[in-house]
Amino acid sequence: MTKEQKTALVTPELPRGLIDRQAADIAATEAMMAKIRAVYELYGFEAVETPFIEYTEALGKFLPDQDRPNEGVFSFKDDDERWLSLRYDLTAPLARYVAENYERLPKPYRSYRAGWVFRNEKPGPGRYRQFMQFDADTVGASSPAADAEICMMAADCLEALGIKRGDYVIKVNNRKVLDGVLEAIGLGGEENAGRRLVVLRAIDKLDRLGVAGVRALLGPGRKDDSGDFTKGAGLSSDQATQVLNRIAFGVRSDVGGRGGTMVIGNATSQGDLPLGHDLGIQGISELAEIERLVRVSGYGDDRIRIDPSVVRGLEYYTGPVFEAELTFETPGEDGKPIRFGSVGGGGRYDGLVARFRGEKVPATGFSIGVSRLLAALRAIKSPIVGAALKAGPVVVVALDRKDHMADYQRLVSELRNAGIAAELYLGEGGMNAQLKYADRRGSLCAVIQGSNERDAPSGRQVVIRDLVLGAELAKASKDRADYLELRQRAQQTVPEAELVARVRDVLDRHRG
């Protein structure tokens, strides 16, 4: 190849943060999603699907400037100069859908949907620019019963996927509680919105940074190990203590055992909630109601637990927030333990639909991070994703391609008509290459017919080769003669009429 030709070639490369999915990944994902779907439908949610693309303004406050689309969102202009964007979650499109079809939908409207979402941000370990979410939402129900149901359903999903009780927890908190605390320490009002956000972010890091780290972030700021400085919220020591008392105690008792209780009414040494702030009280009573409902349904605090430190980054949450967390650790390839952490989250967003309709429409929902959950299921060797690998088709070897392709085609058709996945080898390779091909396809069985079988005195024969048995026997071979002999034992020559029956024998032998 000349240099000119080479430089003219297009480099086959994927943009960063994107990945290809192969047969095993797809099969595992689909097996997993089937389980989730079954749980959602058991709870009475119905499917709905919206497109990948929405008008940018429908997705939220992230309106692009005149020429520069908003960072983090893939955006482009339509023919008519309107901005379009790829969705970055499934909640905003649902809000648009509900608002647009409001009169037609039964209320409360309970729906689920799965799909790809896109974020144009720096990819990291397990973070991609295209990933899949699986959401369920109840729109039009303000009762904490709707929130409680979402939490129970999340727990059911994880268990349906083979995650053992105790290996996960659904944590529940309420934005109103946090807002109440912030109000109490003088951070209420529009002018403090920015600082409130900083405080919430700090609280969100409690599990990773610990109390001391969060205290630093609530105060002047924190310098991390890499030397990067994060500006803090600038609270006084007293204010920081109040915030930490509110949130940290529950977490500490979680670590020690069952706990995380919140107390309604009087301030206690545990909660230290300042009285007289209606928002916080309301939040706590909602949490208490959620807790009561899930407990009577048999969900103990080993599955669903109030945790005052759960924040969730999304600003549109207005009440209860949920986080599904995997609590187990598993050794990674380098031996270091891996924690998967959050595999899903959600909450109440009473204001999202209101953006379109003016009136408030209460809504609550939950979103499962499909890819991350899949990685976790693989780590614990869940049969749901492991068994999803399908065996390859029966491969009919094509030996005398000049004169007998029709014979082979007939054999393949016979198998297919019997409902057996089968294919005729269509390449140029010899017999060696063809069996190798069958091996790489993960086939359980190969069918061979050459002149010996075709012209057998007793009538047409076929060789049925058991590829799995052959592989097992080969492991036991001591020398070449032995190897050749064992090889013969993995196959049988049968009349052509028995093709389907004998192939089925082999397949049945090796299928679970």
Contact set with RNA (CB under 7 A): 6, 16-17, 60, 62, 70, 72-73, 88-89, 92, 119-125, 197-198, 201, 205, 208-209, 222, 224-228, 230, 313-316, 399, 429-433, 435-436, 438-440, 448-453, 463, 465, 467-475, 477, 480, 483, 487, 490-491
Contact 474, 465 (CB under 8 A): no
Contact 174, 287 (CB under 8 A): yes
- Residue 272 has, within 13 A of its CA and on its CB side, a CA count of 16
Residue 61 beta carbon to RNA: minimum distance, rounded to whole angstroms: 7
Contact 44, 110 (CB under 8 A): yes
Residue 436 beta carbon to RNA: minimum distance, rounded to whole angstroms: 4
| Pairing of β 130-139 and β 363-369 | antiparallel
Q: Whose Cβ is closer to RNA: residue 17's or residue 140's?
A: 17
Q: Whose Cβ is closer to RNA: residue 152's or residue 199's?
A: 199
Q: Whose Cβ is closer to RNA: residue 271's or residue 470's?
A: 470
Residue 75 beta carbon to RNA: minimum distance, rounded to whole angstroms: 9
Residue 286 and residue 318: Cα distance in Å, rounded?
12
| Residues with Cβ within 8 Å of residue 441, at least 6 apart in sequence | 392, 393, 395
Q: Which one, of 130, 44, 133, 146, lies nearest residue 92 by Cα?
A: 133
Q: Whose Cβ is closer to RNA: residue 129's or residue 277's?
A: 129
Residue 69 beta carbon to RNA: minimum distance, rounded to whole angstroms: 10
Residue 253 beta carbon to RNA: minimum distance, rounded to whole angstroms: 24
Residue 384 beta carbon to RNA: minimum distance, rounded to whole angstroms: 25
What 326-335 contacts at long range (C-beta under 8 Å, 24+ apart), as own/partner pairs, is: 326/163, 326/167, 326/168, 326/376, 327/166, 327/167, 327/168, 327/169, 328/167, 328/380, 330/379, 330/380
Residue 467 beta carbon to RNA: minimum distance, rounded to whole angstroms: 4
Residue 211 beta carbon to RNA: minimum distance, rounded to whole angstroms: 14
Q: Whose Cβ is closer to RNA: residue 31's or residue 395's?
A: 395
Please, which residues bridge with residue 424 across strands?
A: 396
Amino acid at 118: F
Q: Whose Cβ is closer to RNA: residue 262's or residue 326's?
A: 326
Q: Please give the structure tokens belonging to residue 112.
A: 């689920």
Q: Whose Cβ is closer to RNA: residue 201's or residue 261's?
A: 201
Q: Whose Cβ is closer to RNA: residue 271's or residue 319's?
A: 319
User: Phi and psi of 343, rounded to 5°?
Assistant: -115, 5
Residue 184 and residue 181: Cα distance in Å, rounded?
5
Q: Which one, of 295, 297, 268, 273, lies nearest residue 284 by Cα?
A: 273
DSSP state of 388: T
Residue 450 beta carbon to RNA: minimum distance, rounded to whole angstroms: 3
Q: Whose Cβ is closer to RNA: residue 120's or residue 270's?
A: 120
